[in-house]
Structure 1
Amino acid sequence: MLSILATASSAAAGWGGMIIWLVILFAFMYFFMIRPQQKETKKKNLMMAELAVGDTVLTTSGFYGTVIDISDDTVIVEFGSNKNCRIPMQKAAISAVEKPEEAAE
């Protein structure tokens, strides 16, 4: 009878240890994978919401340009110094935005 109780209590301890490790693993995944991705998504959405005409942008393909027009999910970006290269692209293709500095008076 005593051996049956010992086996049952060790099985319960095994399940309890497994549940604790699963909780630790989930917490690790949340704080090191899921939460940083959510912060990055919020940061990117804020950057896209503040996008304005005249901003200098870096595209995901590595080109720098100036925003000349914005519609819902499309922007027209002007590349180069000759002002002849204007390309419409999706907002999602923008990886960084730099606001123009105001001229010192």
Structure 2
Amino acid sequence: MGILLTDAAGGTGAGMIMVVYIVLIVGFIYFFMLRPQKKEQKKMSAMLSSLEIGDSILTNSGFYGIVIDITEDTVIVEFGNNKNCRIPMQKSAISAVEKPEA
């Protein structure tokens, strides 16, 4: 390990610069990639946990519908004005939830 952290002259200046660069790269990856992704996952799980029957939803494929029934990992969604168009889908396919106005 000592060979990797020393330069040809025998000093440790180049090794310390390399360590600083590695720390900066790891910090950049954390603050600009991992942290925002975790925040988005928390927001999405909070949105799905607050899902209730009667909520209007938008699916990842772009369809708007109304939640008819909810189970642990699936929901039954009614699409359009046709009351016979009810499709079961995974909760993870929901991209946005809009609560009905009181």
User: Which residue is 1:86 aligned to?
Assistant: 86
1:55 aligns with 2:55: yes
Residue 96 of structure 2 aligns to which amino acid in structure 1? A
User: Which has more helix, going by share of residues?
Assistant: 1
Query: Could you say which residue in structure 1 is the equivalent of 2:19?
Result: 19
Quick check: which has more Rg, 1 or 2? 1
**TM superposition shift of 1:40:** 0.3
Tell me what 1:38 maps to. Answer: 38
Pairs aligned (count): 95
In the TM superposition, what whole-angstrom CA distance separates every residue of 1:9-31 from its partner, at most 9, and x where no partner exists?
A: 1xx11110000000001101100
Deviation beyond 4 Å, 4+ runs, structure 1: none
Runs of 5+ unmatched residues, structure 1: 1-5
Asked if 1:95 is matched to 2:95, the reply is yes
In the other structure, the counterpart of 1:66 is: 66
TM-score (normalised: structure 1): 0.88
SS in 1 for 2:29: helix
Output the CA distance in 2 between the equivalents of 1:63 and 1:45.
20
Query: How many Å separate the matches in 1 of 2:32 and 2:85?
Result: 42
Percent identity of equivalent pairs? 60
Which amino acid counterpart does residue 39 of structure 1 have in structure 2?
A: K
User: Could you tell me which amino acid in structure 1 is paired with residue 68 of structure 2?
Assistant: I
- Per-residue deviation, 1:82: 2.1
2:3 matched residue in structure 1: none
> SS at 2:36's partner residue?
helix
Deviations 1:33-88 (A, max 9, x none): 00000000000000010000000000010000000100010100000112110000
Distance 2:47 2:95 in 1: 9
Partner of 2:9: 7
The one-letter code sitting in structure 1 at the alignment partner of 2:80 is G
With structure 2 as the length reference, what TM-score do the two structures score?
Answer: 0.91
